Amino acid sequence: MKHLLYIATLALSSSLTIAHAKDNELSDTDKKAGWINLFNGKDFSGWKIDKWNPTSITIKDGAIRCQGKPSMLYCTNEKAKDAKNFHFIADVMTKPGSNGGIFFHTKYQDKGWPVGHEAQVNQTQGDPVKTGSIYVVKKHLQAPAKDNEWFRYEIIVTGNTVETKVDGKTVVIYQEKSGIEGKRKLSQGTFGIQAHDPNSIVLTKNIKVKLLP
């Protein structure tokens, strides 16, 4: 019910929140609504790259650029690093044949894929699991976006429910059962951006989150 109420409120206010700001800045409407800007487009303030293959993650033209051997970038923003219920938004672009991911309810580690869930990023790479999937636990097999075009990626978590959206359209809704064990489960934590492999180029900008009750 909490999830449905939030979605209804979001729909009613969508015409207001579309008010555009400059890239990597919040609009006045966003600020009043409680959104937190997570990336300034200039440097890694509020973020930490792991020690796995840190040169795989850079900033270019106001976007986080992931290309190279596997690595992770973790959000260290004090207001967002222990998020439980939230609405996360980022603008993402994939180059042809690219794979990536946005982790949530995760935590920093020096190397390796971390705990938490991963919202998949993949339009045309060989993995059949495409953008909008919650990797492993909720698969979507048809790409909802195109390579070489920016798309708006949303991840909404309320209680045991995760919803992903691409350009305003719901892709999957995943409801996690109680008693789940292992690394992939809902809890609370920070966000992470994945560099997947040398043949993948994924760009991310306009990253923001709103914490929910």
Model confidence over 154-195: pLDDT tens digits?
999 999 999 999 999 999 999 999 999 999 999 999 999 999
Distance CA 138, CA 196 (A): 20
pLDDT averaged over the chain?
93
CATH of the domain at 144: 2.60.120.560
Confidence at residue 17, expressed as pLDDT on a 0 to 100 scale: 43
Average the pLDDT over 57-78 and give the result.
Answer: 98
Q: Using CA atoms of 139, 145, 148, 154 in order, give the dihedral in degrees to the nearest 10.
A: -80
* pLDDT of the residue at 21: 77
- pLDDT surpasses 90 at 12: no
Residue 4: pLDDT band with limits 50, 70, 90: low
- Residue 42 CA to residue 203 CA, distance in Å, equals 14
The pLDDT of 73-83, averaged and rounded, is 97
Please give the average per-residue pLDDT across 107-121, as a whole number: 98
Across 57-84, average pLDDT: 98
Joined together, the tokens standing for residue 70 give 């596997």
Confidence of residue 45 (pLDDT cuts 50, 70, 90): very high
Q: Report the number of distinct structural domains present in the chain.
A: 1
Q: Rounded to whole angstroms, what are the CA distances from 196 to 108, 160, 170?
A: 17, 27, 25
Domain of 42? Answer: 2-211
Residue at token pair 């990626």: 153
Residue 29 pLDDT grade (very low, low, confident, very high; cuts 50, 70, 90): very high
Q: What is the pLDDT of residue 189?
A: 98
Share of the chain above pLDDT 70, in %: 91
Coil/strand/helix, residue 5? helix
Query: Residues near 79 by Cβ (< 8 Å), separated by ≥ 6?
Result: 36, 211
DSSP string covering 74-130, please?
EE--TTTTTBSSEEEEEEEEE-TT-EEEEEEEE---SSS--SSEEEEEESSSS-S--
Which of 14-28, 138-152, 198-212 comes out lowest in average pLDDT? 14-28
What pLDDT does 204 receive? 99
- Residues 70 and 114 sit within 8 Å (Cβ to Cβ): no
Mean pLDDT of 40-50: 98
Q: Could you tell me the two tokens for 133? A: 């999937």
pLDDT over 90 (residue 14): no
